[in-house]
Structure 1
Amino acid sequence: MGDDSGDPSMSTRLLGRYGGPIVAGLGFVITRFFVAEAVTLSGEPIAVAATAGSLVVGLSLTVAGVGLAVGAFTSAFVADVSRGCLLGTGATAAAIAITIAATSVGMIDAAVGTQLLVANVLLAGAIGGMVNGYRKAFLRQRRAAVMRGANRARFINRLLRHEVLNAATIIDGHADLLRDDGGDRERSVGAIRRGAARIESTINGVGTIAEDRTRNAVSLAKMIRTAVDSVGDGGRYDRDVSIDVGSATADSVRVDADDRLSIVFERLIEHAVDVRGAEIVRIETTVERHAATVTMIDDGSLPSDRQRGVLERGSFPEFDDPTNGFELQAASLLVGEYEGTIRVERGEETRVVVRLPLKSADAAVAAVGVEYPSLVRAITAGFAAGIAMGGLFLTASGTLPVIGALYGAESAAIGWITHQFHSVVFALLFVAGVSRSPLSDRTHRPLAASVAGLAWGVLLWLVAAGLVMPIWLRAVGILATLPNLPWIGLLSHGIWGVTLGVGYVLIGGRFE
């Protein structure tokens, strides 16, 4: 499964959703109030040079957080990386506090060296924590893959031994009856044919579960309908069984799976009815930011702890257990292949909640999910656009260093670093925004991308440069016109947007 513990904890769900912005904010706070403050306290060129590296590292941490927020990463991955970042920063902050207390220093000294030391220690902790979080996420995925492989082998072995050997025993017994010319010949021939069909069905079923398939976008609604149609409306049972799709799912909601997904729902329904005696099964679906959830509610007997363990943790029993059946094991294996999770809620009714990652969905509910290669292209295009804009702005007005003043340092070097930082962040937001909009299918050509980039640049000129920047400058004690909308700003932001749009498409970027 996607998570060793089955259903993720509340902290994991929160970090999976908000971890990116938290990391971005943490990097920005450390950079703004420690690194940039060191330059403010000194103002010497040496101090500027000394802090440039730390400034780049701190702002890069912020960019990484933005990338986590808009990238197509799983919630578990984002949670692992952001948790590592927070723990690393917290540990180093605690170490600093203990050191201050132990040396009887009432407050951090205002010297440049001390500010830089604190900033570098915090940044080292944050980045070290992110690296450790990435390693944890990688190891968790490998561990889950190894566990799925072992479970698959165990499942195949048991299914073949149980189904095929039973069928073979029946065939052999009836063959003896035919050889002895005793018994009911027609009955024996029918039993042999059923046994042969059972063996064929089992082999085909094993092949379906065992083979590796490429995941793609499949319609969740279609998979649910296929499963319900396969099981039937109760005609296959000797009692009344109702299977109801409670809340319909739009066909446009697609999950990252394959056409075997219908087997998951089919097997869960069969287990509820055949093993736990359910007479009513209701299926409900909801769509979240990164995942779609299918909840199967039934009135059967409550699942045992062992059955729950198979579904939630992939804890396959060491020995054959008729109460588990092969249905739960097949569902667990396939959901694990899709990096989804299964949660079992036991109450007056049993609720089996299958959570699957989205591949694509309605624009109204689609998650922002820029693939990693596109993130790299967006950063590259943003950097190039920043150079084009900065060159024009600096040549025409010579006021680029004022951007550094936002961080407390009116320096050309700091101005360039922070300008490029803004350019990259806004480039990431541009690619993420266009990718989730109805324009995504129309902006893969340079001309269309340049128009979209131009519109984004003009919007930034009006809002970011015209309103936010002067308000920010006033907050740090620098007089600024409000609103601040000079013509050179419009021209430079327009060039930035066109360069960004064209550059992103020309280097192979796609809005999807």
Structure 2
Amino acid sequence: MKSVGRTLGYLSIFGFAVVTAAVYALHGLRSSSSVATFIFGTFIPFCVALILFLCGVWLTRQEFDDSNVAKVGFWCAAGVIVTCAIVALMMLYQLSEGVVLSNRDIVFVGGMTSGALVGFLVGVYDVQRRTTETRLATERERTARLNQQLRVLNRVLRHDVRNRSNVILGYADLLTEDDADVEEHARIIKRTALDLASLGDNARRIEHLLSDSEQTIVDLRTLVEQEVTTVRSEHPEARVEIDYGEAGSVQANQLLGVAVNNLLENAIVHNPTERPRVRVTLDLRGDRVFLRVADDGPGIPHDELSVFRSGRETQLTHASGIGLWLVNWIIDDSDGTVDLEERTPRGTMVRVSLPVAEADGADASRLVRG
């Protein structure tokens, strides 16, 4: 259904074109003037009105949104007002000099036609200029974001790979010595190697995020249930509770499942208790779906919180891994927000807000997990 603004925009353009063309046609039929007067007083202005009508037809085939069509119609009306005002001032001046124009109505109609056409051209130029500026601003923002992602990825990878490699090398040296804790050292080496593998997986996911930010519609409840099932199987010692209210489909980045999985994993692996507890809730409020992940751990360190609060990383404040950065970027690319709250007496709650998808249905087939 077309909006009121679009309808008014088309009415302004086609209305001026049709009315002025009809006036010129009637004037030409009734006038018995010379051929020159007919050409310059009727035929050429009629062609100008026809051009304005064709411009309106061209506008209907452009991918302008309702507000831009309304803006072009506004410029047409503004052009008519300005031109008619100028014509009226000229007539008043000539009248003050004792000169009385014949066919003053036709002169006014001519002013309307030319003003509407000039207004149309100005309106189209203004819309295209603003559209170009918006597109360039979006590209600049995307470029700045990509640069930040590449800087963070490079810095975090160098930091984490170096640290974990040092751990592996150190404990590998201990294995060559006469040490009774061979089993413990081997366990640490294995865990660190798994951390490196996980780091590589996250790096691959960020590469996917950088190369393709296409969105898809997905049933958030089904997605969260899948990730909860996965986490429960990988961490049987953890207690993952769910509380699902009404939740609709969301249009999000294809890596949304990775973001949810990272939040659940982070709530478990950083909890030193024997049985970490995580509570996942979903509820729908208006046009937003809220996902909350609450834990009873020690809380997220200050350096980790900087990922969400400032959205940037410095040499001094450095997130320990790329998992939280990945979550932040995926949610941001899904037109969502991420907030953190400290729980009493201990723990952290991560609150994710995502917009409800405009289209009906859900499709999880295009989600990327690897």
Native 8 Å contact 1:27 1:58 kept in 2: no
State yes or no: 1:61 paired with 2:59: yes
2:336 maps to which of 331, 338, 342? 342
The TM-score, its normalising length taken from structure 2, stands at 0.65
- The secondary structure found in structure 2 opposite 1:352 is strand
Q: Deviations 1:366-413 (Å, cap 9, x if unpaired)?
A: xxxxxxxxxxxxxxxxxxxxxxxxxxxxxxxxxxxxxxxxxxxxxxxx
- Give the match for residue 247 of structure 1: 246
Native 8 Å contact 1:256 1:356 kept in 2: no
The alpha-carbon deviation at position 168 of structure 1 amounts to: 1.2
- Give the match for residue 282 of structure 2: 283
Native 8 Å contact 1:31 1:55 kept in 2: yes
**TM-aligned CA distance change 1:114 to 1:308, over 3 Å:** farther
Find the aligned partners of 2:300 and 2:71 in 1 and give their Cα distance. 39
Q: Deviations 1:421-465 (Å, cap 9, x if unpaired)?
A: xxxxxxxxxxxxxxxxxxxxxxxxxxxxxxxxxxxxxxxxxxxxx
Of the structure 1 ranges 270-279 and 181-190, higher mean CA displacement relative to structure 2 is found in 270-279
Find the aligned partners of 2:144 and 2:214 in 1 and give their Cα distance. 19
Find the aligned partners of 2:11 and 2:79 in 1 and give their Cα distance. 19
- The secondary structure found in structure 1 opposite 2:313 is coil
Q: Deviations 1:96-121 (Å, cap 9, x if unpaired)?
A: 767877898599x8522111122113
Find the aligned partners of 1:232 and 1:24 in 2 and give their Cα distance. 53
- Give the match for residue 196 of structure 2: 199
- The secondary structure found in structure 2 opposite 1:353 is strand
State yes or no: 1:122 paired with 2:119: yes
State yes or no: 1:332 paired with 2:328: yes
State yes or no: 1:49 paired with 2:31: no
- Give the match for residue 353 of structure 2: 353
Aligned-partner residue type, residue 22 of structure 2: T
Q: Deviations 1:273-321 (Å, cap 9, x if unpaired)?
A: 7789995331235897xxxx542135678999955456xxxx3323464
Find the aligned partners of 1:101 and 1:302 in 2 and give their Cα distance. 67
- The secondary structure found in structure 2 opposite 1:172 is helix
Aligned-partner residue type, residue 329 of structure 1: W
State yes or no: 1:30 paired with 2:26: no
Aligned-partner residue type, residue 23 of structure 2: L
Q: Deviations 1:333-389 (Å, cap 9, x if unpaired)?
A: 3346xx53123578998642123766x634xx9xxxxxxxxxxxxxxxxxxxxxxxx
Native 8 Å contact 1:241 1:280 kept in 2: yes
- Give the match for residue 164 of structure 2: 167
Q: Deviations 1:242-295 (Å, cap 9, x if unpaired)?
A: 33333355xxx684753x33112223445677789995331235897xxxx542
State yes or no: 1:265 paired with 2:260: yes
Find the aligned partners of 2:184 and 2:338 in 1 and give their Cα distance. 43
Find the aligned partners of 2:350 and 2:213 in 1 and give their Cα distance. 32
Find the aligned partners of 2:170 and 2:127 in 1 and give their Cα distance. 63
Tell which structure's C-alpha radius of gyration is larger. 2
Q: Deviations 1:82-135 (Å, cap 9, x if unpaired)?
A: 55565666577667767877898599x852211112211331233123212331
- Give the match for residue 376 of structure 1: none
Find the aligned partners of 1:261 and 1:283 in 2 and give their Cα distance. 15
Q: Percent identity?
A: 19
Aligned-partner residue type, residue 263 of structure 1: V
1:40 maps to which of 9, 12, 22? 22
Native 8 Å contact 2:72 2:123 kept in 1: yes
The alpha-carbon deviation at position 179 of structure 1 amounts to: 3.0
Find the aligned partners of 2:160 and 2:23 in 1 and give their Cα distance. 78
Structure 1 vs Structure 2 CA RMSD: 4.6
Find the aligned partners of 1:101 and 1:48 in 2 and give their Cα distance. 21
Native 8 Å contact 1:243 1:281 kept in 2: yes
**TM-aligned CA distance change 1:22 to 1:28, over 3 Å:** same
**TM-aligned CA distance change 1:181 to 1:90, over 3 Å:** farther
Native 8 Å contact 1:96 1:118 kept in 2: yes
State yes or no: 1:139 paired with 2:136: yes
**TM-aligned CA distance change 1:256 to 1:134, over 3 Å:** same
1:293-304 equivalences under 5 Å are 294-297=289-292
**TM-aligned CA distance change 1:166 to 1:125, over 3 Å:** same
**TM-aligned CA distance change 1:130 to 1:94, over 3 Å:** same
Native 8 Å contact 1:267 1:327 kept in 2: yes
**TM-aligned CA distance change 1:345 to 1:193, over 3 Å:** closer
**TM-aligned CA distance change 1:351 to 1:192, over 3 Å:** closer
Find the aligned partners of 1:206 and 1:177 in 2 and give their Cα distance. 30
Find the aligned partners of 2:75 and 2:21 in 1 and give their Cα distance. 26
The alpha-carbon deviation at position 327 of structure 1 amounts to: 3.3
Aligned-partner residue type, residue 352 of structure 2: V
The alpha-carbon deviation at position 324 of structure 1 amounts to: 8.7
State yes or no: 1:185 paired with 2:182: yes
Find the aligned partners of 2:76 and 2:301 in 1 and give their Cα distance. 46
The TM-score, its normalising length taken from structure 1, stands at 0.50
**TM-aligned CA distance change 1:320 to 1:278, over 3 Å:** farther
Unaligned 5+ runs, structure 1: 1-17, 69-77, 366-512
**TM-aligned CA distance change 1:343 to 1:201, over 3 Å:** closer
1:330-479 equivalences under 5 Å are 330-335=326-331, 340-344=334-338, 351-355=351-355, 361-362=360-361
- Give the match for residue 224 of structure 1: 224
Native 8 Å contact 2:152 2:313 kept in 1: no
Native 8 Å contact 1:342 1:352 kept in 2: yes
**TM-aligned CA distance change 1:28 to 1:353, over 3 Å:** same
